[in-house]
A and B are shown apart, each in its own frame.
Chain A
């Protein structure tokens, strides 16, 4: 029997080790035995302690996160994406799984039966060696590489490995802290510990006239003080590690990591000439290196701008999520966070459009603007959600119109597809530039808005509210400005429009019930959950949009910024508007944290899991919503006909 599907699976597998080492007929035989498994986002494939499955897995599409429980907290050990193997080692060792495997996103796996695969590893020396080497290559994290069954060097062809763009990180200078916490050898352990807590550091350098004599770390306190070996009044010189490992300035990250591994230490002291005989100039900790690795926006930005494949961008996106997590954990103010994340998202979109234009046979026939709508347009998109976008192109002669549209539709299809691959799901309402309804010339857009505004029904208002929050992502700003001016000229003193828009703003009533209880969803799949988007974020966003339109303010689309601007424009309502700006930040942060924890959009919140403090905070936000809704009701003479 001919087997089209098995050959298709073989076609995929042959690109990845160790399958590329198999003979063609063996590969086909294996492919015929594959099971194709679909995992929903967040689905657990196997858990720590589970008995080994009869099959190991290769990721075909999507991503699997390998996690370990560490004192009640889930710790990600590794992420497997396209072509990565995992879950193989336990099957060879006949052990239970030591880790959890969870679908980081929607994933398709090829499950390969170990029974059919094992004989091949015994027959084929190269395959066997590959596996032995990968099981043995335990670096920083013993579980990661062992489970993945992949050699670092096999990931990319050898000639690529030392190109300056790859692994650039390791060759960068290591991050040195200049303000070193220091103490004298006579200081008591107690004093030293107090100093460390105060400065929130994990180590203290013991110096005499700025010459390093020794170092004391958290670990030393645990091993030598908490165990009772030394009393807290003993001088630190008794427990310090000495001599201190010193290096001169200009150490690279790779060198620093190797030194730490070699000496089993977490800190390196930097001195004037690199010996323990000269003055201390700084200290370098393992922690700082790790932080700089994934958590540096400027490095990510450079990586985005240099990226040469969609897959690369997808990996960078993952790092952006890590960055976001770090920012939230560090309690950095939300407007800083949203700005940084917005810039990174924006750069990603720009990069994708740039690359798609190059992929097309001809350059764009005329000027165009790619606009992002909804949350990305409002610079409020922290988690990846749906993509909402549209395209405006310059007016062209009538006979060229459809030809021009065809070009931009083709471009949009490519861009929308790639945005989808890196994690922005397609908009379920098809509000995307690849939809011919939203890929229009400037005049067509103007007509479109005229229709919406002149005769505003419910659908029109919904469309207006989505399209009013736009931000230019790529292209010529005069197109989007011309459209904005057109909108203002239509809405100026248009009482009917404001009244309908006001009614829509009030369609989601204040989220607190009569007894100041939270209104929960009454039916559907999220029954008894609190919908923070519908009840909190949307009413505020709607209110901000309406009021800013009323004042004819252009180019501010962020809700918090809109309210801050309103506070300037209407000093008598300053307090309320500032409270609204604050509330919009709080709610967004709430949703983001929730979404990161649950790997979803964060929209539905289980109130039972909230602390009392969080509930009070939420209620305070809702009070502002109710007040601003009242204001809208009076100002725009909204009659409750909806």
Chain B
């Protein structure tokens, strides 16, 4: 996106300024004091530019606990017709779920995440999708630190020539290894919850010396 299309810093809306202001505060050093937001987006496809978000699901993790009350699940009203949206429209109509416009959803999401560390499976994609939506609104990119569970999971594998370290692990593979129930797979909130359980398990595996802190986590 071209820079001149973006709003000038002083023209940024209040909700963005509020979001930005939260980053003045430094992140804690200890994992137990850090709030992580594990999230997943469901989209009409895998093209970051063309495809659109259908829903965002997320849960907060603090002190190695997933706090269900600190959850986020919003469905986004689709302006253009896309065959991929039919299924979710069905769900939305059947269950009478309230939908938001993309702008409202992103606004709510910014407020929800604050300066927390974001965690996602193949995080590049989900962060990219949100950044594209921000860019359509003429806003800068997300400022949060990001962890990718694909990468972290790889860090738990032993170093051996017998296994391919570069392999990209799917969420299903990780769920199978850690014996996590994959009900609600392929709903944003369901996937976010599975990713959150995987994330906690990975933290446990990485923390065998009980000295893991946030700084080390970002180096994996």
Contact = CB atoms under 8 A, between A and B. Distances in A.
Nearest to A34: B68
Contacts of B176: 417
Contacts of A569: none
A15 B134 CA distance: 43
Contacts of B187: 4
B67 A35 contact: yes
Interface string B35-62: 0000000000000000000000101000
B21 interface: no
Contacts of A34: 68
A33 B67 CA distance: 8
Contacts of B67: 35
Contact of B157 (A5, A11, A417, A428): A428
Given A35-B67, A37-B64, A2 B97 contact: yes
A420 B75 CA distance: 37
B197 interface: yes
A420 B175 CA distance: 13
A9 to B, nearest CB: 6
Which of B161, B201, B204 has the most chain A CB atoms closer than 10 A to its own CB?
A: B204
A493 interface: no
A1 B68 contact: no
B65 A3 contact: no
A168 B191 CA distance: 44
Interface string A24-42: 0000000111111111100
Contact of B201 (A2, A3, A106, A429): A106
A525 interface: yes
Given A4-B184, A430-B163, A40 B73 contact: no
B133 to A, nearest CB: 19
B82 interface: no
Nearest to B62: A35
B190 A37 contact: no
Contact of B98 (A1, A36, A421, A430): A1
Interface residues of B, number: 40
A598 to B, nearest CB: 13
A4 B158 contact: no
A459 B161 contact: yes
Contacts of A484: none
A5 B200 contact: no
Contact of B68 (A9, A38, A106): A9
B73 A3 contact: yes
Contacts of B74: 1
A2 B65 contact: no
Interface string A347-373: 000000000000000000000000000
Q: Describe A's contact surface by its main secondary structure.
A: mixed
B65 A37 contact: yes
B68 A32 contact: yes
Contacts of B179: 61, 417, 420-421
Contacts of A426: 177
Contacts of B197: 36, 38, 108
Contacts of A428: 157-158, 160
B208 A525 contact: yes
Given A6-B68, A61-B179, A525-B209, A1 B184 contact: no
A386 to B, nearest CB: 10
A430 B73 contact: no
Interface in B71-126: 71, 73-75, 95, 97-98
Contacts of B177: 426
B140 to A, nearest CB: 27
B207 interface: yes
Nearest to B200: A38
B165 to A, nearest CB: 12
Interface in B183-219: 183-184, 187, 189-190, 192-193, 196-197, 200-201, 203-204, 207-209
Given A4-B189, A525-B209, A32 B69 contact: yes
A504 to B, nearest CB: 14
A2 B204 contact: no
Given A4-B187, A6-B68, A9-B68, A38 B209 contact: no
Q: Which 6 A-B pairs have the closest CB atoms?
A: A38-B200, A525-B209, A36-B66, A4-B189, A35-B65, A40-B204
22 contacts: A3-B71, A4-B189, A5-B192, A8-B183, A8-B193, A11-B183, A32-B68, A32-B69, A35-B65, A36-B66, A36-B200, A38-B65, A40-B204, A106-B201, A108-B197, A420-B179, A428-B160, A429-B158, A429-B162, A430-B162, A431-B162, A459-B162
Interface of A: 1-6, 8-9, 11, 31-40, 61, 106, 108, 111, 417, 420-421, 426, 428-431, 458-459, 462-463, 525
